[in-house]
Amino acid sequence: MAEKEKDSSDQSAADDIMADWSAALAEQEAAVPTPGETAADEGADTGKRTATDSAGASPVSMPSLQDAGTAEKVANLDMILDIPVTLSVELGHTKIQIRNLLQLAQGSVVELERLAGEPMDVLVNGYLIAQGEVVLVNDKFGIRLTDIISPAERAKKLR
């Protein structure tokens, strides 16, 4: 008999909790205006209490993100433009065994997988962004970009 009383008291406690939640949800739904209704329309004619009435608070107008000045945008862009990145040019690559690597000495030739005359890969922080050909500029090597990898292709390679 004690178990039946315990079960019924547990059930009534659960019913009380559900009633509290139902009341809270109904109050919240009443406080939120429908898409065609403004907050002023809601409380004025119907006599409903709104969330602002019960808390004594009023809505705050937030500036639109589109209202941000161009000076702020330029400052944000300048901050990004000052970030250093590593640009490197890959002549080619190959895989060799450690045994062969340890046998390399001055004058050894390592054959690369890339053919002579093929464009070199231009990498930024390890990601391929372009291809180009080697040029000589004032006794220094340079690279003339011949093909820029599209942003869509770069995104595909990140996956």
- Is residue 96 in a domain? yes
Amino acid, single-letter form, for residue 67: D
Rounded mean pLDDT of 61-74?
64
Check whether residue 95 and residue 135 sit in a common domain: yes
Q: Say what percent of the chain tops pLDDT 70.
A: 65
Confidence of residue 42 (pLDDT cuts 50, 70, 90): very low
| Residue span of the structural domain in which 110 resides | 85-158
Number of domains in the chain: 2
Phi, psi of 84 (to 5 degrees): -75, 140
Side by side, the strands of the sheet bearing 120-124 are 87-90, 120-124, 127-137, 140-148
Residue 74 lies inside a defined structural domain of this protein: no
Does residue 90 share a domain with residue 28?
no
One domain, residues 24 and 89: no
Mean pLDDT of 63-78: 66
Assigned domain for 30 exists: yes
pLDDT, tens digit, for every residue of 93-126? 899 999 999 999 999 999 998 888 899 999 999 8
Q: Which of 47-51, 62-66, 121-125, 145-149 has the lowest mean pLDDT?
A: 47-51
CB 93 within 8 A of CB 112: yes
| Residue 110, domain member (yes or no) | yes
